[in-house]
A and B are shown apart, each in its own frame.
Chain A
Amino acid sequence: MNKRIFEELFFKGLMILATTLVAGSLLLIVGTILYKGLPYLTLDMVTKTPDGGFYIGKEGGVLNAIVGSFYIATGSTLLGLLISIPVSIYLNFYIKQQSFLSNAARLSFDVLFGIPSIVYGAFGFIIMIYLGMRASLLGGIITVTLLVIPIMIRTLDEIMGTVPKELRDAAFSLGATRWEASKVVLRQILPGIITAILLSFGRAIGDVASVMFTAGFSDNIPISPDEPAATLPLAIFFQLGSSVPEVQGRAYASALILTIIVLAITLLINLVSKKFSKHKI
């Protein structure tokens, strides 16, 4: 009897240790970035673009990268939404469930979801060469859109699945067309759509491998879509590679900026889900 209780206590101890490690690693990571980055986080960093010689220690900031990342994330999220919502509506309202097309589509989106961003980056690169495009804001947006579409479709699909079938049947019974019925359901899942947007935005702003080949890099804020655009993750990466300690410090500060943005988005997602669940059926 004692042996069994002892075994349980032993594993319970292990479990607590493991949980602390896993959950605590977040605190460790954010803490390290905060510790190393805060000293270098000046107002200049967020308001100025790099002057010449930024990477060897001269003046400037990473505004180019912040804006560039925002442009790409916003552009790809919007474009992704434009494609994902019709596709989700089609999958859930127009095709028969369990039909060949329905199953093939879902399998395909699952696969697309699992493809790493570096493959999307490589593919985006191939397309751009084929179309004769240079590395640019537009190239980055297109590639990241491809990355983001499976995320959105999957999130939307899951959320549509939580709407009771009877709600849809009620609309159909009143003589609604498939399009009209889908509008009723969309209204119901609005918070879910917002969550999908935020999730995709967060992914888009932090990803490197997809923009590496396709968006290029620039010290300036892009004015037109075919100019190259800097992104925060790449800016961090480049600054980190410098041998000047001042610049490395700025890399940590940039990392801190990115971390803050992502944490803010995560907070928003939680707030949105909590706020809207009051009115649901």
Chain B
Amino acid sequence: MAETPHISVQNLNVQIGGNPILKNISIDIPDKKITSIIGPSGCGKTTLLKTFNRLLDNSAEVKVSGKVLVDGEDIYDPNAEVTHIRKKMGLLSQRPFPLPMSIYDNIAYGPRIHGIKKRNELDFIVEKHLTATGLWHEVKDRLHSSATRLSIGQQQRLCLARGLAVEPEIILGDESTSALDPVSTNTIEKLFLELKEKYTIVLVTHILRQARRISDYIIFVYMGEIIEFGPTEEVLLNPKEKLTQEYVKGYIS
């Protein structure tokens, strides 16, 4: 691979409650590309994604060993500062979770806690990112109404805008369109394709067609191990491993 890896995982092992969920994972995520992680349910895809922004930290039952390097720095280093790391990544979960505040405050939340207080600066950020996700015209007249009143497709775009407002470098998506209708799904997919010019994007998905539509690279995970990694067309049309072949043809999962 010629491109510089933005995220480099080395010998990552994750155990939850004593059960090994991820076994000796080593992978490099290419910079400014869309990489999709595919695999059957329960095989560790979401866990892998969550190790990237250390969201697993909260449970004592989770044990992580190995290194995850972002821009060359190990985020699991004991001296690493976790809020700084998380700021670099934007997470889009399966179901949208707007914060219990107005649309404006949702977008402004991140910048506010990271120090931006001036009203006109925040206004600019809110408008910029709502426009980037195609929401501006739909909500510009009701910025101060509650974000929970938006439709589910709008909420997911809101969450994307919110994540972009903290100026991350990497976007993580955990099955982020599986709760949406086809039109909203299409909108989000288009957004990902635009965003990859500036951001590295890692998506977990169980929809192979989606992976084919938008990703540049694919990682196939099965039972906590990486079975295959490569450019999309290769992995989906000419898989090298037998397990990959079977999954892609629909036998496993």
Contact = CB atoms under 8 A, between A and B. Distances in A.
- Say if the two chains contact directly (CB < 8 Å): yes
Interface of A: 96-100, 102, 164, 166-167, 169-177, 180, 184, 187-188, 279-281
A175 B95 contact: no
Nearest to A176: B113
Interface stretch (B80-88, B212-220, B227-235, B245-253): B80-88
Interface string B22-66: 000000000000000000000000000000010101111100000
Nearest to B86: A175
Which 7 pairs across A and B sit closest by C-beta, in order of nearness?
A: A175-B87, A99-B60, A96-B60, A173-B91, A174-B110, A170-B97, A175-B83
B159 interface: yes
A188 B166 contact: no
Contact of A98 (B60, B84, B86): B60
B100 interface: yes
Contact of B55 (A173, A184, A188, A279): A173
A192 to B, nearest CB: 13
A60 B166 CA distance: 66
Contact of B110 (A99, A175, A188, A280): A175
Contacts of A99: 60
Contacts of A173: 53, 55, 86, 89-91, 163
B114 A175 contact: yes
Given A96-B60, A279-B148, 15 more contacts: A97-B61, A164-B97, A167-B99, A170-B99, A171-B99, A172-B55, A172-B86, A174-B110, A174-B113, A174-B163, A175-B83, A175-B87, A175-B113, A184-B99, A280-B100
Given A173-B163, A174-B113, A166 B83 contact: no
Contact of A166 (B57, B93, B146, B163): B93
B93 to A, nearest CB: 5
A98 B61 contact: yes
B55 A174 contact: no
Contacts of A176: 83, 113
Contacts of B159: 170
A224 B109 CA distance: 45
20 contacts: A96-B57, A96-B59, A96-B60, A97-B59, A97-B60, A166-B93, A166-B97, A167-B97, A171-B99, A173-B90, A174-B86, A174-B113, A174-B162, A175-B83, A175-B166, A187-B101, A188-B100, A279-B148, A281-B100, A281-B148
A59 B22 CA distance: 79
Nearest to A97: B59
Chain B facing A: main interface SS: mixed
A71 B173 CA distance: 53
Contacts of A187: 100-101
Contacts of A170: 91, 93, 97, 99, 159
Interface in B96-118: 97-101, 109-110, 113-114
Contacts of A164: 97
B23 to A, nearest CB: 22
Nearest to B57: A96
A173 B50 CA distance: 10
Nearest to A177: B83
A20 B205 CA distance: 56
A95 to B, nearest CB: 8
Contacts of B84: 175
Contacts of A171: 99, 109
A276 B148 CA distance: 14
Could you say which of A167, A170, A174, A188 has the most chain B C-beta atoms within 10 Å of its C-beta?
A174
Contacts of B110: 174-175
Contacts of B113: 174-177, 180
